[in-house]
């Protein structure tokens, strides 16, 4: 009997009208035909709606609302979806054409797998730098305890949470999840505008979900100038907020052993804030960020960043008021 497992493809978008056709086309080109594409427009002010309505495929459904962030958009799209499997795609990325076919076959064949993700290619559009992520983070992925199933499928038995705190090699766009389990654990944390995907994997890992990955590229992810991944004070504060959720969840599950693994992520967030506050001319918060970073272990990098931030701070100050005394 032909498989008809419906996959709900969740695509949030915000002012990506020029890039959106690439993502939509990559869904339309899937060799696996049993999908629905739920596009949630998160308050776009460009012609996103016009672009989506130009596609005449009954499998595509379009919704729009006020801007609340990617987590909110994904959750609202998920609520109106109907598939037994759920997959995610960002509006500026694209899948390879057999992504869903491969993943659905594997989930149907291995009912013990809850979350399945795959390799992906990252392209920095400003520099055209291109790399395959699993190769880039091979040393980190070697820390995973896995069952080798075949040439491409690996079921993770341990080490997932420890590994993703070193390098997060799970791209949301590469993931497919069983809907019933996602509903059980809860969807993306809508109070976060950054780190919402990491927080979900962390929560799932603590809950005992079974992760697996395919050693095959299933996604090309583009990093354009001005993407949401570019550091900002607000994004760094959101990262710290997400880490606070992860910390509390680990403690509530009796996993104090995981707390040290979050240390570097906290320090990285504070180190980013050293530079950001310096370049914005906020000397008080720049120094506070430096001292907060040192609480997570003394690091020469923090001193280097502070020196860079001081130079930026003085430059901004002179530009604004003529001279700044530090």
CATH number of the domain to which 187 belongs: 3.90.550.10
Task: Report residue 162: phi and psi, to 5°.
Answer: -65, -40
Query: Inter-axis angle of helices 300-321 and 263-279, to 10 degrees?
Result: 20
CA distances to 10, 141, 243, 286 from 265, in Å: 28, 18, 8, 18
As a whole number of angstroms, the distance between CA 232 and CA 113 comes to 36
Task: Judge if 200 and 257 occupy the same domain.
Answer: no
Which residue positions in the chain have pLDDT lower than 50? 1-2, 226-229, 317-326
Task: Judge if 218 and 245 occupy the same domain.
Answer: no
Of 173, 195, 223, the last residue of a domain is: 223
Q: Are 184 and 89 in contact (CB under 8 A)?
A: no
Of 174, 195, 223, the last residue of a domain is: 223
The answer for residues whose C-beta is within 8 angstroms of residue 114's C-beta and 6 or more apart is 177, 178, 181, 204, 209, 210, 211
The answer for residues whose C-beta is within 8 angstroms of residue 319's C-beta and 6 or more apart is none
Task: Judge if 127 and 186 occupy the same domain.
Answer: yes
Q: Are 267 and 299 in contact (CB under 8 A)?
A: yes
- pLDDT at position 224 is 66
pTM summary value: 0.89
Task: Judge if 62 and 174 occupy the same domain.
Answer: yes
In a domain, 228, yes or no: no
Task: Judge if 242 and 196 occupy the same domain.
Answer: no
297 in the Ramachandran plot: left (φ > 0), alpha (ψ -120 to 50) or beta?
left
As a whole number of angstroms, the distance between CA 192 and CA 202 comes to 14
Q: Which two tokens stand for residue 299?
A: 């690091």
Task: Judge if 119 and 211 occupy the same domain.
Answer: yes
Task: Judge if 38 and 118 occupy the same domain.
Answer: yes
Task: Judge if 11 and 84 occupy the same domain.
Answer: yes
Task: Judge if 38 and 95 occupy the same domain.
Answer: yes
In a domain, 64, yes or no: yes
Task: Judge if 171 and 61 occupy the same domain.
Answer: yes
In a domain, 45, yes or no: yes
- pLDDT at position 2 is 47
In a domain, 245, yes or no: yes
Q: Are 214 and 103 in contact (CB under 8 A)?
A: yes
Q: Which two tokens stand for residue 282?
A: 């906020």
Of 179, 203, 223, the last residue of a domain is: 223
End-to-end CA distance of the chain: 74
In a domain, 40, yes or no: yes
**Domain count within the chain:** 2
As a whole number of angstroms, the distance between CA 27 and CA 180 comes to 23
Radius of gyration from C-alpha coordinates of the chain: 21
Strand 85-88 and strand 176-178: pairing? antiparallel
In a domain, 2, yes or no: no
Task: Judge if 150 and 253 occupy the same domain.
Answer: no
In a domain, 179, yes or no: yes
- pLDDT at position 223 is 79
Which domain does 258 fall in, by range?
Answer: 233-321
DSSP strand E in 80-164: where?
A: 85-88, 94-95, 115-124, 129-132, 145-148, 153-158
pLDDT digits (tens, 9 = 90+) for 31-75: 999 999 999 999 999 999 999 999 999 999 999 999 999 999 999
Task: Judge if 268 and 162 occupy the same domain.
Answer: no
Q: Are 74 and 14 in contact (CB under 8 A)?
A: no
- pLDDT at position 192 is 94
In a domain, 1, yes or no: no
Q: Which two tokens stand for residue 213?
A: 């990955």
Closest CA to 175 of 1, 8, 3: 8
């Amino acid at each position: 009997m032909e498989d008809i497992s419906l996959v709900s493809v969740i695509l949030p978008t915000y002012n990506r009208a020029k890039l959106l056709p690439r993502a939509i086309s990559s869904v339309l080109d899937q060799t696996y035909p049993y999908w629905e594409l739920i596009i949630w427009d998160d308050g776009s002010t460009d012609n996103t709606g016009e672009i989506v309505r130009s596609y005449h495929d009954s499998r595509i459904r379009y919704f729009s609302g006020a801007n609340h962030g990617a987590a909110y958009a994904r959750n609202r799209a998920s609520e109106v979806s109907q598939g037994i499997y759920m997959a995610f795609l960002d509006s500026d990325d694209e899948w390879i054409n057999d992504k869903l076919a491969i993943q659905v076959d594997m989930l149907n064949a291995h009912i013990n797998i809850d979350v399945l993700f795959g390799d992906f290619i990252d392209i920095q559009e400003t520099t055209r730098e291109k790399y395959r992520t699993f190769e880039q983070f091979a040393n980190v992925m070697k820390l995973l305890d896995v069952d080798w199933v075949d040439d491409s499928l690996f079921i993770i038995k341990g080490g997932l949470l420890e590994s993703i705190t070193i390098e997060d090699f799970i791209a949301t766009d590469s993931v497919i999840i069983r809907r019933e389990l996602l509903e059980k654990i809860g969807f993306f944390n809508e109070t976060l505008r950054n780190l919402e995907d990491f927080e979900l994997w962390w929560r799932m890992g603590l809950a005992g979900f079974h992760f697996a990955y395919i050693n095959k590229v299933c996604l090309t992810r583009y990093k354009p100038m001005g993407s949401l991944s570019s550091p900002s004070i607000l994004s760094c504060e959101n990262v710290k907020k997400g880490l606070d959720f992860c910390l509390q969840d680990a403690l509530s599950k009796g996993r104090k052993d995981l707390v040290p693994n979050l240390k570097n992520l906290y320090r990285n967030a504070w180190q980013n804030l050293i530079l950001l506050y310096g370049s914005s001319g906020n000397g008080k918060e720049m120094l506070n960020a430096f001292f907060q970073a040192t609480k997570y272990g003394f690091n020469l990098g923090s001193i280097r960043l502070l020196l860079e931030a001081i130079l930026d701070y003085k430059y901004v100050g002179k530009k604004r008021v003529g001279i700044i005394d530090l």
